[in-house]
Structure 1
């Protein structure tokens, strides 16, 4: 899965002030990310606020991204949830011809055991017509998919090709890198530690900030993959304050403020999320202003 090495970006769903989907802004975001040099696009992840979208809206977003991309970059589709049977049915009946892989989150709210997590992804792997990227994000799911479970899945199912590891734990990521099959990819799900994970042997990142600063962030990851450490860390430290800020009041409120500062999209989010407050907006606006050359 060489196409998943480097920087993928978890695309936002831009809204107009009336909370309807802003198709033109979505087209601008896709083109901005592609022109900035990212390696692939992730559609319908958590950052897309997919929990607040109707099925028709999801289909509109997916179609818009496919049509705007025009085959330029590989696409990954978020297909996950906490109802295993529903996901399996979606995988058996959906059209995934435009996508390189699915990204499937570990079940949230139910808080399954490690065996439950394994059986969940076993069912997904057996049903999926395309490769599967596992997604571990304990901060959202309230359960941590342990390295032993990840490695078990990677060994048992050839189409389980990667994990987006967002536990915020470098040691846990390193355990997976060390013990997983040779071609299994460990992809950072945390922007702040993406570079350290790459330097430890990871394959790259599925990023939030990467769509706001695609040129800088994707180049940083490529430098890391090529072990040009000092050059890579210059960008890491340049962006580190902004990475902190975009998550300070929740995702994707922060990155949407960046897009507003760039003149690409409104900073509107749907309830129960709210836009960043004036203090954070001013700080993000200032960072963007100072970063534009």
Structure 2
């Protein structure tokens, strides 16, 4: 039933930031511009309202606005898989149903954060969401943010019992864990890297692609890691992996998306505003970000120095 969308949901699914205007309101026009830029740059899909999109700083109505704006802007050119999860099951159900109504191709549903449910409770939560919708679901496992790791055996139960749970975004530095995902869930299960330095390695074990925040800075290059791998040009893909490493490193020296938004502001892509309690990166990191962007030719040294 979901084979067609599974074949399309591969490559670089760009986790688009949520831009705010000078009044700290969601900047709809900026979202439209970013979606178009990503698609023109070769991103294979779009996601909004994931970690990089500051969903915990948005109201439910704003999350709906961001999702709807992205889906309409994409115009079915690439799949759109918005983040619809929260720590509240009622909110998760509402947002996932709304994503389906809006025409999203899939939904990215995070492991509930702060609550720290046990494995059976996690199974029950995702099973409840899966049973409530027909839209394909990608589970989002990010233990560093949620304080809970979705164990492989729990994910495998969900993959077996819920036809519409088609994949997982693993922002998990435990590479043994991600290997066991495909061993236990089947190699046709969609496995995405949410860790920048694991985007290339995860392709080597059978991953479907990546959902990397760095795509907000270099969408073409992040997409090309996947393209080159699929084309069999392993050496060039590996070269690109290492070329992007310094950029990946600096973007995560402080909490995402603070450095990312600052960098995009330097590039003239957005107003780099973050909603409190998030704040801009430290002055030393801003300097390092500027120097890094200059070294990649992403900003003009004479103008920015």
Q: TM-score, normalised by structure 1?
A: 0.94
How far apart in 2 are the matches of 1:172 and 1:143? 14
Residues 23-32 or 160-169, more deviating: 23-32
Distance 2:144 2:101 in 1: 29
Which residue of 2 is the match for residue 174 of structure 1?
179
Q: Which runs of 5+ in 1 are unaligned?
A: none
Partners of 1:104 and 1:112 in 2: how far apart?
15
The aligned length equals 293
**Separation (CA, whole Å) in 2 of partners of 1:120 and 1:23:** 32
Structure 1 residue 265 and structure 2 residue 267: aligned? no
Shift in alpha-carbon separation, 1:91–1:8, aligned structure 2, 3 A: closer
Corresponding residue for 1:98? 103
Q: More deviation in 82-91 or 241-250? A: 82-91
Match of 1:72 in 2: 77
The aligned counterpart of 2:43 is 38
Residues 172-181 or 160-169, more deviating: 172-181
Question: Is the Cα contact below 8 Å between 1:76 and 1:102 reproduced in 2?
Answer: yes
User: 1:32·1:211 contact (CA, 8 Å) conserved in 2?
Assistant: no
- Residue number in structure 2 paired with 1:147: 152
Aligned pairs for 1:60-139 (under 5 A) are: 60-92=65-97, 95-139=100-144
Say if 1:155 and 1:181, in contact at 8 Å, map to a contact too.
Answer: no
TM-score normalised to structure 2 length: 0.90
Aligned equivalents of 1:146 and 1:16: distance in 2? 40
What residue ranges of structure 2 are gaps of 5+ in the alignment? 1-5, 299-305
RMSD value, Cα: 1.8
Which residue of structure 2 lines up, in the alignment, with residue 187 of structure 1?
Answer: 192
Equivalent residues of 2:138, 2:169 under 8 A apart: yes
Task: State the Cα distance separating 1:84 from its structure 2 match.
Answer: 2.4
The answer for the alignment partner of 2:293 in structure 1 is 288
Structure 1 window deviating more from structure 2 (63-72 vs 170-179): it is 63-72
String of CA shifts for 1:149-178, please: whole Å, max 9, x gaps. Answer: 111111111111000011112111111122
Following TM superposition, by how much is the alpha carbon of 1:12 offset from its aligned partner in structure 2, in angstroms? 0.5
SS at match of 1:248: coil
CA contact (8 A) 1:249 1:276 kept: yes
Other structure's SS at 2:269 match: coil
User: In structure 2, what is the Cα distance between the partners aligned to 1:73 and 1:134?
Assistant: 20
Say which is worse superposed, 259-268 or 279-288, in terms of deviation: 279-288
* Equivalent position of 1:196 in the other structure: 201
Q: Is the 1:199–1:227 contact (alpha carbons within 8 Å) kept by the matching residues of 2?
A: no
Between the aligned partners of 1:173 and 1:129, the Cα distance in structure 2 is 26
Which protein has greater RCO, CA pairs closer than 8 Å, 6+ apart? Answer: 1
Whether the 8 Å contact between 1:96 and 1:130 is mirrored in structure 2 is no
> Which range is displaced more, 157-166 or 21-30?
21-30
